[in-house]
Amino acid sequence: MSLSIKEDDRYVVWFDIDNTLYSASSSVYPEMVKRTHAYFMNLGLSAGEASDLQWKYYRQYGLPLRGLVLNHDVDPLHFDKECDGSIPLEEMITFNSSVRKLLQDIDRSKARVWVLTNAYLNHAQRVLRILGLEDQVEGIAYCDYKDPNFTCKPEPAHYRQAMRLANVTETSRCLFVDDSKGHVESAKALGWEGCVHFCETASSSFDGGKEGTNDNGVIVINDLEQLRDVWPYIFINTKSASSKLDH
Ligand SMILES: [Mg+2]
């Protein structure tokens, strides 16, 4: 007789953090860009050269820091302290009861909740703490700056590593929402099942996308509440629960 551990076949819902779990209107992202730009200038570049290189690395690697580490021998932990670590997040983002309720309404017998971020662990934990979501998240897949060869979205290796971390083997069990169209398309190309581009009005000019369309299997939403309709099979049926109470 052989003993086997039954594989957990629940869905894994992957939430991006920045500009997804909180609104882009909080302007955290411009602060990140501003600090990253200052970091590039500290390498001895002019403002124009710094902007060009920052943008070039963003397109080439998905994250300017990847270019800094690979080509300029930058210590990613120092970068993290100077950039993400110095942003006054407590003054910029706040507890959001709607987002908390959305995560609470995910039926945990059907789905596990993880976050998948291009930030380092410190920033991820800090944001989740301020938003009051720490207890709603089972795990954090982040960019491991301690590893010089760390991966990031949209590299396929980053998604595969996240799946290993969450111990999920089937791409058909992965649901994903991110404000970056490129990040979502990369997940879709890997076979992740429910890929959603969160295209909030405030950020739409940056990343494109049109609400309600289904582009190559990617659903576009402009409000996280729409996830209840996009993935109805993982949510507690709050509508029928409330209608029962009404009668
Ligand atoms: Mg984001």
Question: Of 109, 133, 120, 132, which Cα lies nearest the Cα of 87?
Answer: 120
Predicted TM-score (pTM) of this structure: 0.87
Ligand 1 centroid vs 206 CA: distance in angstroms?
12
Ligand 1 centroid vs 178 CA: distance in angstroms?
6
Question: Of 158, 90, 151, 85, which Cα lies nearest the Cα of 122?
Answer: 85
User: For the ranges 21-25, 100-104, 203-207, which has the lowest average pLDDT?
Assistant: 203-207
The model's pLDDT over 145-195, given as tens digits with 9 standing for 90+, comes to 988 789 999 999 999 999 999 999 999 999 999 999 999 999 999 999 999
Ligand 1 centroid vs 33 CA: distance in angstroms?
13
The one-letter amino acid code at 172 reads: S
Measure the CA–CA gap between 127 and 230, rounded to whole angstroms. Answer: 25
Q: Report residue 11's pLDDT band, with 50, 70 and 90 as the boundaries.
A: very high
pLDDT at 205: 40
Q: What is the Cα 147 distance to its own chain's centre?
A: 20
Q: Rounded mean pLDDT of 211-235?
A: 87
Measure the CA–CA gap between 71 and 63, rounded to whole angstroms. Answer: 13
* Residue 124 in this model has a pLDDT that exceeds 90: yes
Dihedral of CA 188/16/120/104: which sign?
negative
